[in-house]
A and B are shown apart, each in its own frame.
Chain A
């Protein structure tokens, strides 16, 4: 006896029979990313904020023990944000990306152009999620299909192999995605070829593949018809700014970005304020200190908060949540060149970002101090965006040196094993092939 599906749902097979529904299956992912309060939404549970607390970027004012554990670098394997925001959400998007990949391959009735676009986008999203998983947890299960029966017993794959898959996915995405924004109505809200290139440059940098990182970054920096640094710091985070490579469009009615409504304070913070260590890291005369940071005085306390996004709530929507932007590419190329001892060009790229912020040229001349200067520049340019600080500290080998004093300043202590988050307990219970990270 066959029964029709409910009126409000579609069977998978019928989703991938038209361009419109297949595209909806893909863009649904971006909508979920912005509706959630975790992963990459910019809201209180987003991994940029969780890792910001774990490092030296954010101070915690929430009494919620699950958030305090991140701030104190004392994560317990049963932490709810660890499970939902850091682990389950990206794997849910990986499932959906795999479903789109399988669906457009098997489905008929989708035009070739849309098929190519969706394949590229799904590969990009899969690579993007895997990037965050491998940088938060280390070795993670690599899921390449929707076959749940096999995936339920997946073991952790070595980080190198995960990175290899990320690179392969991004290269295929580059071939499939178009260089313009024609398929997203001219808005920079869906990943295009530029987004794949930008993430690939970052991945090569993390893999210490300096030559390829510089090549990819140059591809974007040289593309002046599409991507340029905004000269006005207050314009960087606007919707479809010249500097944006990929942004996520807000979906909450009556609000702009989640970051705006979360960070901008009108009273004592309920969640986060900037770590005083970051405030003192700004050089004198750095325009970002006045344009991207604001403060609120309550009684005898001053609370500093991020002011990259300037709209707390209201319409119309003028700001989109930034995922990838051009400034990072300059810093990637600077670091890649410095590592290859091309110190003059490295300093030039670094100075482009510094002069945009009203700072004089860097005084670093040798490789070691230039690399430290680039790490410092990343700290004050990319703060509260996409977990850059937390990942930078670890991949450059600087995490113990910075976190030992920083953790004490936060009222806790630092063990070197804290640089990797624990695998959620619930997952190990349900998939006994998973092993736990050291120190947990």
Chain B
């Protein structure tokens, strides 16, 4: 006998989102366009966002398509600078630099306190804030994660009472720098990428000790004896009884020690090529030898696998060395 199952709640009142954009740009050229500068400042305000509005499951569903009364502002500055540094008969060097500085802000949300986002967003702050328990270190006496007891009731694990929006997951600025050199037949391109941001670090996906999973070497420095000063909680087999297990779980889901600096500078691409000079009588039109390296160097303080895709156990982008010979007939 066939059955029918409801798939969604009805909302007859939803409509389109609106975005109001404001942009100012300036293009400048100096020294016969040897220096080209582009400046761009933008401010977008979006409202009436059409989202899957979160509902508690006592309603039978976990969301409904609805419009939010929120006003979100995305603004920023973009800079692009192209320069021809040296233009000689044999040797040229050009550079290209770009930088973006984004800002995000929740401008308004009437009645946020009675909406499902009461404990997620704060009006006047970016959407990227994370409401978290503020980490105050591993207790040297007991080896347990401790957090700030905001509401002063003796427990530091109250949700939402002890949550604070002190940290965010956002990019402060990002961009790239490309340098191109050529000398006679040689060409060299060097491209650096940089991002200054915060992100989830290794602690957010920290596998439960004892499960069949690899661990980072930081666990070697975990708390083991009273008096140890460390940032990794004690291992224990008393799962569930002591507060170690519960504190570990809460740290993994709510602790702000799992958010840290994830900035990096990466040598994304370096490309060296040599175009072999051929005589006019040669049957070959062009012959080029090249060597390319991708992701050769990453400079970062990030604790985790990859500062660019942070938190989980994804492999970072691989270092790739390619070499080859290109011949056109």
Q: Which of B6, B64, B114, B116 contacts A95 (CB 8 A)?
A: B6
| Cross-interface CB contact of A427 among B2, B9, B58, B208, cutoff 8 Å | B58
What are the residues of chain A within 8 A of B159 when measuring CB–CB? 77, 425, 428-429
Q: B241 near A: Cβ within 8 Å? A: yes
| Contact of B154 with A by CB under 8 A | no
User: What residues of B have a CB within 8 angstroms of the CB of A15 in the complex?
Assistant: 4
- Report A290-307 CB contacts with B as 1/0, cut-off 8 Å: 000000000000000000
Q: How far is the CA of A25 from the CA of B5 in the complex (A)?
A: 6
Which residue from A74, A143, A432 sits with its C-beta under 8 Å from B114?
A432
In the complex, B118 has a CB within 8 A of chain A? yes
A31 touches B253 (CB 8 A): no
A30 on interface, CB distance cutoff 8 Å: yes
B201 to chain A, nearest CB (A): 20
Chain A residues contacting B57 (CB-CB under 8 Å) are 83, 87-88, 91-92, 427
Q: Is A369 part of the contact surface with B, judged by Cβ < 8 Å?
A: no
B211 interfacial contact with A, CB 8 Å:
yes
A10 x B240 contact (CB < 8 A): no
Q: A248 to chain B: closest CB distance in Å?
A: 12
A72 CB contacts on chain B under 8 angstroms: 239-241
Closest-CB distance, A80 to chain B (whole angstroms): 11
Asked, given contacts A72-B241, A76-B249, A429-B160, whether A31 binds B55 with beta carbons under 8 Å apart, the answer is no
Residues 37 to 61 of chain B near chain A (Cβ within 8 Å): 54-61
Closest to B7 in A: A9
> Once bound together, how far apart are the Cα atoms of A63 and B207, in whole Å?
12
Interface flag for B324 (CB, 8 Å): no
On chain A, the residues within 8 Å of B10 by CB distance are 12
B246 touches A27 (CB 8 A): no
Query: Chain B residue with minimal CB distance to A78?
Result: B253
Q: When chains A and B are docked, how far (Å) is the Cα of A10 from the Cα of B3?
A: 12
Count chain B residues whose beta carbon lies closer than 8 angstroms to a beta carbon of A.
Answer: 38
The reply to whether B60 and A96 form a contact with Cβ atoms under 8 Å apart is yes
**Given that A76-B246, A413-B241, A429-B116 are known contacts, is A27 also in contact with B56, CB under 8 Å in the complex?**
no
Interface membership of chain B positions 146-177, coded 1 if the CB is closer than 8 angstroms to chain A and 0 otherwise? 00000000000001100000000000000000
- CB of B3 within 8 A of CB of A148, answer no
Asked whether, in the complex, the Cβ of A146 is within 8 Å of the Cβ of B5, the reply is: no
Q: Is the CB of B9 within 8 A of A68?
A: no
**Closest residue of A by beta carbon distance from B8:** A9
**Which A residues are CB-close (under 8 A) to B253?**
78
Report whether B240 and A68 are in contact in the complex, using a CB–CB cutoff of 8 Å: yes
Q: Is the CB of A68 within 8 A of B6?
A: no
Kindly state the separation between the CA atoms of A143 and B55 in the bound complex, as whole angstroms. 14
Q: Does B62 sit at the interface, judged by CB under 8 A?
A: yes
Q: Please measure, in the bound complex, the distance between the C-alpha atom of A429 and the C-alpha atom of B59, giving whole angstroms.
A: 14
Q: Is B302 an interface residue, CB under 8 A from the partner?
A: no
Say yes or no for B119: interface residue by CB 8 A criterion. yes
From 426 to 440 in chain A, residues with beta carbon under 8 angstroms from any chain B beta carbon are 426-432, 434
CA distance A21 to B4 in the complex (A): 7
Chain A residues closer than 8 Å to B64, beta-carbon distance: 148
Q: B59 and A95: CB pair below 8 A?
A: yes
Main secondary structure of the interface of B (DSSP, over half): loop
Pick the residue among B9, B58, B60, B240 that contacts A69 (CB under 8 A).
Answer: B240
Say yes or no: A92 contacts B3, CB within 8 Å: no
* Neighbouring A residues of B2 by C-beta, 8 Å: 24
Given that A63-B211, A74-B245, A74-B246 are contacting pairs, would A28 and B56 also be in contact in the complex, using a CB cutoff of 8 Å? no
Distance from A320 Cβ to chain B, minimum over Cβ atoms (Å):
14
Q: What bracket does the count of chain A residues touching chain B fall in?
A: 35 or more
- Beta-carbon contact of A27 and B3 below 8 Å: yes
How far in angstroms is the closest Cβ of chain B from A30?
7
Q: Is B24 engaged at the interface, CB distance under 8 Å to the other chain? A: no
A406 on interface, CB distance cutoff 8 Å? no
Among B3, B59, B250, B253, the most chain A Cβ lie within 10 Å of the Cβ of B59
Enumerate chain B residues within 8 angstroms of A143, measured Cβ to Cβ: 58-60
Cα-based distance from A79 to B58 in the complex (angstroms): 17
Residues of B within 8 A of A87 (CB): 57
Question: How far apart sit A154 and B57, CA to CA, in the bound complex (Å)?
Answer: 11
Residues of B within 8 Å of A98, CB to CB, are 60
Write the chain A residue with the least CB distance to B118. Answer: A432
Q: Distance in Å from the Cβ of A247 to the closest Cβ of chain B?
A: 15
Taking a contact as CB atoms under 8 Å apart, the answer to whether A78 and B249 are in contact is: yes
CB-based nearest B residue for A72 = B240
Q: How far apart are the CA atoms of A429 and B120 in the complex, in Å?
A: 9
Give a binary string over A399-440; 1 marks a CB under 8 Å from any B CB, 0 the rest.
000000000000011000000000001111111101000000
Cα–Cα, bound, A413→B241 (Å): 6
Alpha-carbon gap, A31 to B1, bound state (A) = 10
Q: In the assembled complex, which residues on chain B have CB atoms less than 8 Å from the CB atom of A25?
A: 3-4, 6
Q: Would you give the shortest CB distance from A109 to chain B, in whole angstroms?
A: 16
Q: Tell me the minimal C-beta distance from A132 to chain B in angstroms.
A: 14
A73 at interface by CB-CB < 8 Å: yes
Chain B residues within an 8 Å CB radius of A76:
246, 249-250
Chain A nearest CB, measured from B158 CB (Å): 9
Q: Which residues of A contact B62 (CB under 8 A)?
A: 88
B239 touches A152 (CB 8 A): no
A245 interface contact, C-beta 8 A: no
Check if A151 sits within 8 Å of B59, measured CB to CB: yes
- CB pair A28–B3 under 8 Å, yes or no, is yes
In the complex, chain A residues whose CB is within 8 Å of the CB of B249: 65, 76, 78
21 A/B residue pairs, CB under 8 Å, sorted by A: A12-B10, A28-B4, A32-B3, A63-B211, A63-B212, A72-B239, A76-B250, A78-B249, A87-B57, A91-B58, A96-B6, A148-B55, A148-B61, A152-B58, A425-B159, A428-B159, A429-B116, A429-B118, A431-B58, A432-B113, A432-B118
Given contacts A24-B3, A31-B3, A427-B58, 7 further A-B contacts (CB under 8 A): A63-B212, A68-B240, A87-B57, A99-B6, A141-B58, A152-B116, A429-B116
* A-to-B contact residues, CB < 8 Å: 9-10, 12, 15, 21, 23-25, 27-32, 63, 65, 68-69, 72-74, 76-78, 83, 87-88, 91-92, 94-96, 98-99, 141, 143, 146, 148, 151-154, 412-413, 425-432, 434
Interface residues of B (CB under 8 A from A): 1-7, 9-10, 54-62, 64, 113-114, 116, 118-120, 159-160, 208, 211-212, 239-241, 245-246, 249-250, 253
